[in-house]
A = this chain, B = another copy of it.
Amino acid sequence: MGMSALGGEDQILYVIKGNAGRVVPMEKLQRIDAYWRAANYLSVGQIYLLDNPLLSEPLAAEHVKPRLLGHWGTTPGLNFCFAHLNQVILERDQEMIYIAGPGHGGPAAVAHAWLEGSYSDKYPDIPQNTAGMRRLFRQFSFPGGVPSHVAPETPGSIHEGGELGYALAHAYGAAFDNPRLVVACIIGDGEAETGPLAASWHSNKFLDPARDGVVLPILHLNGYKIANPTVLSRIPEAELVKLMEGYGYRPHIVSGHEPAAMHQLMQQTLGVVFDQIAEFKDGRADRLPMIILRSPKGWTGPAEVGGVPVEGTWRSHQVPLSAVRDDASHRAMLEQWMRSYRPEELFDADGRPMPEILHLVPEGPRRMSASPHANGGEILRPLAIPDFRRYAVEVKDPAAQHSEPTRVLGAFLRDIIEANPQTFRLMGPDETASNRLGAVFEVTGRAWNAETLATDTDLAAGGRVMEVLSEHLCQGWLEGYLLTGRHGLFNCYEAFIHIVDAMFNQHAKWLDACHDIPWRRPVASLNYLLSSHVWRQDHNGFSHQDPGFLDVVVNKKAKVVRVYLPPDANTLLSVGDHCLRSRDYVNVIVAGKQPVLDLFTMDEAIVHCTRGLGIIDWASNDAGGEPDVVLACAGDVPTLETLAAAALLRRHLPDLKVRVVNVVDLMRLQPSSEHPHGMPDAEFDALFTVDKPVIFNFHGYPWLIHRLTYRRAGHANIHVRGYKEEGTTTTPFDMAMLNDIDRYHLVIDVIDRVPGLGTAAAHLRQQMLDARLHARAYTRQHGEDPADIRDWVWQR
């Protein structure tokens, strides 16, 4: 079984390499061992048992779950860490939370929360007694029960760990601006092979000892992933130590399998480690410690099953004994395994944990499973937001002047940062200045704790702007920051936000699940500002042109996702203010950094954004009546082209009744049955008509509009233009022409779809074709767009 009792000798002496040994008294270790055994017992019980939780009768087939769904391999290691960290919390009155990177070790986190009493606090139907233990076991990975991972349902968790790679980034996100907090982050050696995790080690260069808390990485090497050895468990130890030192940490090794020795070694090591953390916090050391914990996979589980080794191998990754219900010998092994933890010493006859185990449980919010940091909504304070109207661009006439929307937003963000010096961060992969949010540097710098040179600008320890060339880190840090009750915005090139598609999915699923868990208090929304978007990546070319993140986003639940495409500076301000005040959403804002025409006064912008979409009166000539054609648009560049097309039509075909509709809130297009922002059919039909052609000029891939509108009565008349995967390094207007979203093509689309327009239209159609040819030739000759297009010179 691998489990051996403590005791016999009064003391065991282990010396930590490079440190004087400090022997931890036996009684402490025995208490920790009891807690560990209790957690292991509860973990095995969750994986296997439907009933007979205390083994008060011999284990029978009907006590065992028919489907065994859970992961044992990592679980005893997690339990080991939790037990030892509790001892530290008690001794040092340390504020601490944990991140369980191997989140499939869900039984461990649940067991820990139950032992700490916080599980019963959140779920009173699962008390700390035999009936509660029975329900605790039964519900795990069971229909109608709780997930197999450290999911939102688990008290104390901010990290499900379903998809591996994000543990350490989440941990740092939680630590930023939490100066008294230690985030213990257990990193599985499988997870350590992922890219995002590998990059996350360097997060320490962005941590300010004065303003931020501390992350304690515990690299848990149990040697195997699902079916393979792991890289970091099989490189020479000297190389591994260099790697950790190269990442900027002070590594400590805790290695072994004999419990008594391991308890002594872990407590000794934690003593040194927390002393080193204190040195780091008060400036006596400039490197943080970390722990390399080597312990067997499936530690204390069955050593062998059917003649092959299980403990210490990949075979213990999920359930070491798979035939327990049908095979009496397996069942006997399970019973022997569970009894090896000596449950009679751990729980009283009523199933309550014994006092010596409860002795290791910290008080109230000091319990990691009850920390308010791990239920961030509990401590979330509203952002102090200045009146966004103060930053408005003055617009006397629509479409008569230009602004750079993100530059205007930058001033707003600057003052938000100033007003919230400890609860707001702006993330970006080295694109904050490129995205023209540079005003923020008037009041803060980029967080930076590595070397600085005289030529550097805008770097600062504790800076509110976090820039690293890793979208994964930006996303992971922000998620950790938000889930612990703070606010933020992630600005990114549009194409490269796909790098975090999978992370977005996981976060959206987390929020989705939280909506149904009453004790999870609402957290600030995750806000994306996607700038340097597809239509203005003419300079970087095809690889930088991809508006498909929106398609990924709208796959997630309507109660979680919101998409906004403000067409000018004032609408961006209004949308930005709205998003920063919202809770529990993922908001995606797509807005350009290049100069675009100012279309709305601030008051108009507020009305427009509140409605989410609306007619642009001055660009329409249907005078409140029924139009002949609707020109719809969403996104800044498509809107400008649509307005230009409308102007051409009004000038050349004055009898044609054109209605221009701009969409800011994309979710408005859906039926109200599909999305909370969805528009009732009657309103939609009134705006878009049920029988007139609609030429919809869209920022993204065109089918998204079809997808959102396919249930509408007039859907068959909606003709969508958008990005159709044509692009290269060229001019902005050439990009529009390559994808047929340009003004000339829109006019042609109208002429081709409105019947009976006559010869004037035929003539105009030819003119438009000629204009396209001319623009194309001009561009290829001069390397820039024709002046009239470049300068947006056109008649309103």
> Is A448 in contact with chain B by the CB < 8 A criterion?
yes
Verify if A329 is at the interface (C-beta below 8 Å from B).
Answer: no
| Interface hits, A203-249 → B, CB 8 Å | 205, 223, 225-231, 234-236, 239-248
B195 touches A234 (CB 8 A): no
A548 touches which one: B202, B433, B505 (CB < 8 A)?
Answer: B505
9-residue interface stretch from A78-86, A349-357, A550-558:
A550-558
Of B197, B242, B472, which is within 8 A of A246 by CB? B242
Other-chain contact of A228, B223, B247, B446 (Cβ < 8 Å): B446
Residue of B nearest to A71 (CB): B540
Interface residue tally of chain A, by bracket? 35 or more
CB of A299 to closest CB in B, whole Å: 15
A502: which of B144, B226, B499, B707 is its contact (CB, 8 Å)?
B499
| Complex contact A160–B239 (CB within 8 A) | no
User: In the assembly, what is the distance between CA of A163 and CA of B198, in Å?
Assistant: 18
Contact of B470 with A193 in the complex, beta carbons under 8 Å:
yes
| Most chain B CB atoms below 10 A, which of A309, A543, A725 | A543
Shortest distance from the beta carbon of A585 to any chain B beta carbon, whole Å: 15
**B205/A199 in contact, CB under 8 A:** no
**Which residues 400-458 in A have Cβ within 8 Å of B in the complex?**
430-434, 446, 448, 450-453, 455-456
How long is the Cα–Cα vector from A245 to B538 in the complex, in angstroms? 41
Q: Chain B residues with Cβ under 8 A from A271's Cβ?
A: none
- Given A226-B434, A244-B246, A505-B546, does the pair A193, B731 have CB atoms closer than 8 Å? no
Closest CB-CB distance, A614 to chain B, in whole Å? Answer: 26
Which of A228, A246, A459 has the most chain B CB atoms inside 10 A of its CB? A228
Report B-chain residues with C-beta under 8 Å of the C-beta of A707.
703, 706-707
Is A165's CB within 8 Å of the partner chain B? yes
Return the contact of A234 from the options B145, B151, B434, B450 (Cβ within 8 A).
B450
Asked whether A543 and B313 contact (CB < 8 A) given A430-B225, A552-B551, A725-B556, the answer is no
Residues of B contacting A433 with CB < 8 Å? 226-227
Contact, CB under 8 Å: A470 / B195 = yes
Q: List CB contacts (< 8 Å) of A676-697 with chain B.
A: none
Which of B142, B193, B312 contacts A202 (CB under 8 A)? B193
Interface contact B195-A162, CB-CB below 8 Å: no
Cα(A147)–Cα(B505), bound, Å: 32
The answer to whether A143 touches B779, judged by C-beta atoms less than 8 angstroms apart, is yes
Q: Give the residues in chain B near A502, CB-CB below 8 Å.
A: 496, 498-499, 501
User: Shortest 9 CB-CB distances between A and B: which pairs?
Assistant: A162-B543, A243-B246, A195-B195, A198-B198, A242-B246, A498-B502, A195-B199, A234-B450, A147-B541
- Beyond the given pairs A165-B195, A198-B201, 10 more chain A to chain B contacts, judged by CB atoms under 8 angstroms and listed by A's residue number, are A142-B729, A143-B780, A147-B542, A163-B543, A191-B469, A202-B231, A239-B245, A495-B505, A496-B502, A509-B725
